[in-house]
Structure 1
Amino acid sequence: MRRTGLLIVAILGAALVFIGFNFVYGWVGDGPLTQDKTIVVPTGATLTSAARVLKAQGAVKSADAFLTRAKLFGGSAPIKAGEYVIPRGASNRQILSILQGGKALTHLVTVAEGLPSIIVHEKLMAEDELTGTIPVPAEGSILPDSYAFEKGESRAAVLARMQGAMTDYLAAAWKKRSPDTPVKTPQEAVTLASIVEKETGVGAERTIVAGVYANRLRIGMMLQADPTIIYPITKGKPLGRRIRKSEIAAVNGYNTYAMPGLPRGPIANPGRASIDAVLAPAATKALYFVADGKGGHIFADTLDEQNENVRKWFEIRRQRGEL
């Protein structure tokens, strides 16, 4: 009888050890995922609701078992909302650590230098992972860059970061401006920088182009920048055709062929380099420039030089069959 009792105790003890081992192993052992899985923990989710999501996505075998183990072994740190990548074979412990760590998967939206605000608006509205609506932002209020965001974040929050970056950069750059810059306010700097941005894509030319426009502003000469003709027509989108004579003569507050000085506001969102160029323009006597046929420009101090450069440019275009 005694032997039977001891045998029963031994069996029960072994069973308890086995159960305990499995319980602990279920916390640290490999999970059921056979490949990486992206899951979303919504805002306001509890550990209980997150456990159900994990079970539905196949990341854990049992929502109840995960929840029990997490409460016993996982500490008191709360989980954080976000989009997470759960690695293949992740254990319960690893999964909880990921959710508590809050290192959510991020996405990027890129604003290229010189992009007009109407296209920035379209890019943000086209991002399916963002929420809410926004108006078209003020032209020149966004600093071109790549911005990270999380799934479910609001478009307004992302736009605020873009605009905050421009405000901060412009404030810092304005403090370091050269006394040779012709612009009188930060807003004027953004306006002129947007023209420089649209006139050249060659980094080495930006300060020279800024210097040409600085010279023109100082003597009251019209800037005559083609992009300022196009902006009122398309809000910065490509025109897709040649500029008409009537458009060159149009008076609208932007067209710098019809008035001296700066347009009423920016015509694009300029990047850091163009802002810096306007605030520290090159010391040059040049008043003119025209395309050189190689992606850059030829600069001229006098109108006679400019006319000869223009003649050469038209000859290049005729040889290309563009005229």
Structure 2
Amino acid sequence: MKWLVRALLAVLLIAALAAGAVWQWLRSPLSLAAASVELSVEPGTNPADVARAWVGAGVQTDARYLYQWFKWSGRAKQIRAGSYEVHAGVTPGELLDKMVRGDEVLEQLRLIEGWNWRQVRAALAAAPALKARTAQMSDAEVMAALGEPGLLPEGRFFPDTYAYSRGVSDLTVLKRARAAMQRRLTAAWAARAPELPLKSAEEALILASIVEKETGAAADRSRVAAVFVNRLRVGMPLQTDPTVIYGLGEAFDGNLRKRDLQADTPFNTYTRGGLPPTPIAMPGQASLQATLHPAPVKSLYFVSRGDGSSEFSEDLTAHNRAVNKYIRGK
């Protein structure tokens, strides 16, 4: 009988020592091959493969121990796909907590108000750890992949900062930016001021892109919008340089010449009345709001004062005086 008691005590002692060792392992920092180790967990990866992947990435422990910890914790099925990074000092418990919380390493892509589509594509190409699915696509193919075949991409994406997981497709980010613009434009159009000379949200987007490019000082934005709204009301050409520059495309060398203003293109608002056929850039929220709620002024003209702000005039005589003062120095 004594031998049975001794055997039982031995088993309990071994179990206690093992439990203590496991507890100590869970609370002890894992050895890493570098100061930090990164891993991208793909959707559908099973816990055993996740454990092996961490070891392969540089966590210096036995993958079987990690897997058994995932399994024993009861949270193995709660591990989320994503991009993770651990640093020196991380414990097995903290590593699992990070994956269960979905505490990912995120990169950021910033789309700037006033950027055109070429600039957006350049930003996508330069974004870190972003899978470049659109790199070899035409503009038409990009929009078709986003579910909007036949729609031109210019001005269709909302300028903002977008966080994304490493290895995600650039189409995923573009889809978010496109949805954001649709939401903002729909809401702004629904709350628009009455009696605007705009027939649709599309026309509002086009005009907002012009307002975005023409506004030098934020305080002037609603008055800049008012100038163009007033011109549309009276049938006056918009006569805005940014549309001409957009029409020149990559041929524009930074110097807008008289011959450029006289060369007729669909985007030359000196030679053609009304709005250009598409937006010329991405308008931000402020430009959308200014376009759909322009200042209650009668101005038809404005000219830069040279400090970012503009001088506004209701008639050509006053405008010419402002041009002489601020441009010609007379």
Scaled by the length of structure 2, the TM-score of the pair is 0.87
Q: Please tell me whether the aligned partners of residues 181 and 278 of structure 1 are also in contact (alpha carbons under 8 angstroms).
A: no
Alpha-carbon RMSD across the aligned residues, in angstroms, is 2.5
- Quote the Cα distance in structure 2 between the aligned partners of 1:278 and 1:129: 37
Q: 1:281 aligns with which of 294, 302, 310?
A: 294
Equivalents in 2 of 1:240, 1:74: separation in Å? 63
The answer for the alignment partner of 1:321 in structure 2 is: none
Quick one: distance in 2 between partners of 1:23 and 1:212? Answer: 73
Gaps of 5+ in 2: 144-152
Counterpart for residue 185 of structure 1? 200
What is aligned with 1:252? 265
Report how far residue 313 of structure 1 moved.
2.2
Give the distance between the partners of 1:220 and 1:194, measured in 2 at CA. Answer: 20
Distance 2:73 2:179 in 1: 42
Q: For 1:201 and 1:43, how far apart are their aligned partners in 2? A: 46
Gaps of 5+ in 1: 319-323
Deviations 1:262-288 (A, max 9, x none): 111111111111111111111112111
| Aligned equivalent of 1:298, options 280, 300, 311 | 311
C-alpha distance in structure 2 between counterparts of 1:159 and 1:75, whole Å? 33
Distance 1:54 1:207 in 2: 54
Deviation at 1:43, TM superposition (A): 3.6
1:52-63 counterparts in 2 under 5 A? 52-63=52-63
* Contact kept? 1:105, 1:150, Cα under 8 Å: yes
Question: What does 1:158-173 correspond to in 2, within 5 Å?
Answer: 158-173=173-188
Q: 1:293 Cα deviation (Å)?
A: 1.2
In the alignment of these two chains, the number of paired residues is 313
Q: Distance in 2 between matches of 1:72 and 1:91?
A: 16
1:155 matched to which residue of 2?
170
SS of the equivalent of 2:77 reads coil
C-alpha offsets along residues 121-151 of structure 1, whole Å, 9 cap, x if unaligned? Answer: 1211222412212544611111111111111
Q: Is contact 1:178–1:279 with CA below 8 Å preserved after alignment?
A: yes
1:29 counterpart residue number: 28
Alpha-carbon shift at residue 303 of structure 1 (Å) = 1.0
Q: More displaced, 276-285 or 30-39?
A: 30-39
Residue type of the partner of 2:24? Y
Q: Does 1:309 align with 2:309?
A: no
Write the distance in 2 (CA, Å) between the matches of 1:242 and 1:76: 62
Which of 207, 213, 217 is residue 228 of structure 2 equivalent to?
Answer: 213
Which SS does the other structure have where 1:84 is aligned? strand
Deviation track 1:270-314 (CA, whole Å, cap 9, x = no partner) reads 111111111111111211111101111111111111111111223
On the 8 A contact 2:51/2:67 being kept in 1, the answer is yes
Deviation of 1:106 (Å): 1.5
Give distance in 1, aligned partners of 2:74 and 2:289.
51
User: Are residues 1:202 and 2:217 paired?
Assistant: yes
SS in 1 for 2:237: coil
Q: Which residue of 1 aligns with 2:110?
A: 110
Query: CA, structure 1 residues 42+55, in 2 after alignment: closer, same or farther (shift >3 Å)?
Result: same
Q: Residue 77 of structure 1 aligns to a residue in which SS?
A: helix
Name the residue aligned to 1:75: 75
Q: Is the 8 A contact 2:267 2:276 kept in 1?
A: yes
The alpha-carbon deviation at position 59 of structure 1 amounts to: 3.0
Paired residue for 2:150? none
Paired residue secondary structure (1:315): coil
Name the SS of the counterpart of 1:140 in structure 2: coil
Could you tell me whether the CA contact under 8 Å between 1:110 and 1:146 is conserved in 2? Answer: yes
Secondary structure of 1:149's match? strand
Paired position in structure 1 for 2:86: 86
Residue type of the alignment partner of 1:203 = A
Quick one: percent identity of the two aligned structures?
A: 34
Cα distance in 2, alignment partners of residues 193 and 8 from structure 1: 83
CA distance in 1, matches of 2:5, 2:184: 79
Q: Given the superposition, is the C-alpha separation of residues 288 and 75 from structure 1 closer, same or farther in structure 2, using an over 3 Å criterion?
A: closer
In the other structure, the counterpart of 2:255 is: 242
Moved more, 75-84 or 169-178: 75-84
- 1:95 corresponds to: 95
1:146 aligns with 2:161: yes
Deviation per CA, 1:82-118, whole angstroms, max 9, x where unpaired? 1112243222122122222223221111111111011
- Opposite residue 242 of structure 2, the aligned amino acid is P
Q: Secondary structure at the match of 2:53?
A: helix
Note the C-alpha offset of 1:48: 1.5
Distance 1:23 1:246, change over 3 A: same
Tell me, in whole angstroms, the C-alpha distance in 2 between the residues paired with 1:161 and 1:78.
26
Instruction: Measure, in 2, the Cα distance between the counterparts of 1:159 and 1:106.
Output: 16
Aligned to 1:17: 16
Give the letter aligned to residue 285 of structure 1.
Answer: K
SS in 1 for 2:266: coil
